Amino acid sequence: MPLTSTDDIVGPAYAGASGVGAFNVVQIEHAEAIVAGAEQAALPVILQISENTARYHGSLAPIGLASLALARAASVPVAVHLDHAESAELVHEAVELGFTSVMFDASKLAYDANVAATRDITEHCHRADVWVEAELGEVGGKDGAHAPDVRTDPDEARAFAAATAVNALAVAVGSSHAMLTRDAVLDFALISRLRNSLEVPLVLHGSSGVGDAELAAAVTAGMTKVNISTHLNKLFTRTVRDRLRTAPGVADPRKYLGPARDAVAAEVARLLGVLAAR
């Protein structure tokens, strides 16, 4: 199945009140695991590459082109998304490479500056038929952003979405980035109010800190795109650590990265089932 438009994945889920998993890629094993998990679940998925990951690899192209190749070879719909980009130049590069969507993060700016910067990005991306996600306010774990006590105002969110013409909006409802425990307390009533106030899909960031039952409840309340990163990284690292502890003499990276990749694939398949269940 060819690389799939993000809108062709998120749009039907939004209309059908189900959820879509968006998982972050750090290295090629992550991308391979995420695609394999989606194929196991027979469900669509979104591969996400953050600005931080592009910086880690020296540029966006190496990991971006690898992810695009895996998406094109997949047997299920796979989109490739630029996550938390603060650089307009990086957004432009993602569009040129063939990414199907971008998340432009100007949430650290004052409201009016956020609107202006995001609108410029949206206009550029829409000319190339690239879907755009933005964030209003900050989601915790990133220099004090999206803190657990921060909440998105529905009226402001509706005005922001209209002013910027974005395709989806990440909102603050109680989750926080980079959580190592799955005990975030979400505001389900607010999620429902936001769903009813906006005409674009809602995105839940910081979902690694949200348990299975709460993820399902968030989708029921109105979330569509659900971003997960740290939870998979914990599993990947734990599997590598366990394999090296049981075989301390191993030298071939495939002997410990392969099992970690398999573990992440199984967890991706499981989580996609949680999000898709209605």
Backbone angles phi, psi at 229, to 5 degrees: -135, -65
What is the C-alpha to C-alpha distance for residues 178 and 52, in angstroms, rounded to an integer? 13
| Active-site position among 7, 8, 83, 155 | 83
Q: Tokens for 189, please give them.
A: 């009533």
Q: Facing residues of 123 across strands?
A: none
Backbone angles phi, psi at 48, to 5 degrees: -120, 135
Q: For residue 124, how far is the Cα from the chain centroid?
A: 21
Q: Tokens for 249, please give them.
A: 């003499």
Cα–Cα–Cα angle for 38, 42, 45, nearest 5°?
A: 35
What is the C-alpha to C-alpha distance for residues 137 and 105, in angstroms, rounded to an integer? 9
3-state secondary structure of 169: strand
CB contact at 8 A, 48 and 71: no
What is the C-alpha to C-alpha distance for residues 180 and 4, in angstroms, rounded to an integer? 31
Name residue 158's amino acid: R
Active site residue 83: yes
Backbone angles phi, psi at 22, to 5 degrees: -125, 115
Q: Facing residues of 165 across strands?
A: none
Contacts with 73 (C-beta within 8 Å, 6 or more apart), sequence order: none
Which active-site residues does the annotation give? 83
